[in-house]
């Protein structure tokens, strides 16, 4: 299929705006994308005109505009997250006193689309919309475990490369798929322990994960196994709801 080069360059530029790099100047973005700075300027100016980007008040750098909040709200409404998933997630958080996290599969990454935070002072905290590779952490690995072997190989090769690490992860993913849940401690975020289970659409394709996350000192492995029972019960409840609203 023929690509629209101008559109491809524009989206390539927009994808550079991440949590790690939320603002860019024209020339540094040109170096990052390999595009001529005049092309980058026209792209950024167009995005600014339509509200997708805005220029910072403090420097000449561009940052994301409020248009993305509109899309985020629309996406949440379409997924029925507030009505369908949030009450059950809050119930789980109230039961165990730790944060409950909904991670969605988006391309080759996992995106946090809903988080019910613990009421405790020390807790798991991450920004909505934050994304990470599927090769790190329980909430992401459990998704990777249920992707096709071809997708697994491609993602693992891109992020890990080394044959030994890749083989070890492949073996781990086989085990995760067999047991149906994943556990990690300090793997993606220092001092954070998580336990996660998969979520599917009506066609039984993997679409995301539900996880419990909190400080490692409060969730030793034995305690996480107690929480697993409650997590799996919430998984079952949410899966019934997802089967009604997602194809």
- The distance of Cα 55 from the centroid of its chain, to the nearest Å, equals 27
Task: Compute the average pLDDT of residues 137-152.
Answer: 95
Task: Compute the average pLDDT of residues 99-121.
Answer: 92
pLDDT in tens, 14-25: 999 887 788 999
Q: Is the pLDDT of residue 40 over 70?
A: yes
Rg (CA), the chain: 20
The predicted pLDDT at position 73 comes to 66
- Overall residue count recorded for the chain in this entry: 247
The domain 5-65 is placed in CATH, from the list 3.50.50.60, 1.10.600.10, 1.10.10.10, 3.20.20.140, at 1.10.10.10
**Rounded Cα–Cα distance for residues 189 and 93 (Å):** 20
Query: Which of 208, 194, 193 has the alpha carbon at shortest distance from 239?
Result: 208
Q: Is the pLDDT of residue 124 over 90?
A: no
For 174, the token pair is 């086989």
The predicted pLDDT at position 29 comes to 94
Q: Is the pLDDT of residue 1 over 50?
A: no
- Residue range 79-245 forms a domain whose CATH class is alpha beta
118 and 93 in contact (C-beta within 8 Å)?
Answer: yes
**Residue indicated by tokens 């979520």:** 199
The predicted pLDDT at position 75 comes to 66
pLDDT in tens, 169-182: 999 999 999 999 99
Map residue 217 onto helix, strand or coil.
helix
Q: Provide the pLDDT confidence category of residue 82 given band limits of 50, 70 and 90.
A: low
pTM flag (> 0.85): no
Max avg pLDDT among 105-109, 124-128, 174-178: 174-178
**Rounded Cα–Cα distance for residues 142 and 173 (Å):** 8
The predicted pLDDT at position 222 comes to 92
Domains 5-65 and 79-245 share a fold: no
Q: Is the pLDDT of residue 3 over 90?
A: no
Task: Compute the average pLDDT of residues 209-218.
Answer: 95
The predicted pLDDT at position 2 comes to 47
Q: Any idea where the domains of the chain sit in the sequence?
A: 5-65, 79-245
């Amino acid at each position: 299929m023929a690509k629209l080069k101008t559109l491809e360059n524009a989206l390539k530029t927009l994808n550079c705006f991440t949590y790690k790099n939320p603002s860019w100047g024209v020339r540094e973005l040109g170096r990052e994308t390999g595009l001529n700075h005049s092309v980058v300027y026209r792209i950024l100016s167009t995005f600014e005109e339509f509200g997708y980007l805005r220029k910072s008040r403090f420097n000449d750098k561009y940052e994301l505009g409020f248009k993305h909040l509109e899309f985020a709200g629309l996406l949440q409404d379409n997924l029925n997250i507030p009505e369908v998933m949030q009450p059950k997630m809050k119930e789980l958080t109230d039961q165990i006193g730790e944060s409950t996290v909904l991670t969605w599969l988006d391309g080759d990454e996992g995106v946090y689309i809903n988080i019910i935070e613990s009421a405790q002072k020390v807790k798991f905290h991450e920004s909505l919309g934050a994304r990470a590779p599927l090769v790190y952490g329980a909430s992401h690995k459990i998704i990777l475990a249920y992707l096709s072997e071809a997708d697994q190989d491609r993602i693992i090769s891109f992020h890990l490369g080394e044959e030994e690490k890749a083989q070890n992860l492949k073996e781990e993913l086989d085990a995760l798929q067999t047991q149906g849940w994943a556990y990690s401690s300090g793997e993606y975020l220092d001092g954070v322990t998580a336990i996660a289970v998969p979520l599917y659409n009506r066609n039984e394709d993997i679409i995301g994960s539900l996880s419990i996350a909190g400080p490692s000192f409060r969730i030793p492995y034995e305690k996480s196994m107690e929480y697993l029972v409650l997590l799996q019960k919430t998984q079952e409840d949410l899966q019934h709801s997802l089967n009604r609203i997602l194809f």
